[in-house]
Structure 1
């Protein structure tokens, strides 16, 4: 089972300072540009590449201890007879010694790190974009628990009819675009692609 995993940190519970004007014929709905911050949460998510289902949890922080709690949750919520291949970025919390120690005791977990500056390869990033644009960006959240409830509701609805994200571009076309972009930007980070 392949799971694309990451955390979306600093998800803000924002409340507007004034109510917006509702949508009506000839005018789009409006929202004030200023807001009140009511705290943050971190969304941990693991999306199955097979069916698009998402395992998730919200936490106050995004340290290695929360990542380890999330790994334990994945362990509980996936079939025991399946090997788990987790696609992750190179964030330090994913490589902490305590995480490695836990992974050694759980051999069904296999971690695969995306290259530096290539988090776009991790399909859960597309899910984060969806939840951000569909639910979070124009939301009004008066508290962190209200924000977490909205996130959990969105994911529950998503999981009722999940769909995996499917690449529409060919791998070679993507790599050629990356190579062209790196050349134009003068990037030395990913010279291995050239």
Structure 2
């Protein structure tokens, strides 16, 4: 595959934005999905060379409650990450509250505008409203408690906190927590969540 085409497809996958030749935003994948409820193949985004040929692209399936969220992204170079043994923290919006230690992180959300997956029959407590990353795997929780209101520290946008191999990064677009060893994690915001 042409290196320029690979870079374009990687950028589209990470950001959900297709940019034209003049630098104008052509489409936002998440917006198209939200309006139509379907995933639209953007073959024009992959582009064809002057000879009219293109390499086939096979999409990879992901576990996502809402398309367009993007995958696990590395923090920008100026991202400031603090090392801690454990931490109770919330996002600046005070919509997400978390507890982090060296082996796991759990985050609860106050208000979500997305739908959680269907409640499993085995869950006799509250379903959704919380996600957990532990043992190298992220999942939606069946729980009977909450972290909401438990923190005294705000994790400012553009900063992160790490304990052991577990790191959470705060951005205005959402909170991303990941296990640096396994690469698994989740992104959570009022509008959507994604487990990877």
Asked if these proteins are the same fold (TM beyond 0.5), I'd say no
Q: TM-score range by the shorter chain?
A: under 0.3
Query: Structure 1 length normalisation: TM-score?
Result: 0.22
Higher relative contact order (CA 8 A, sep 6+): 1
Pick the structure with more strand per residue.
2
Return the TM-score normalized by structure 2.
0.22
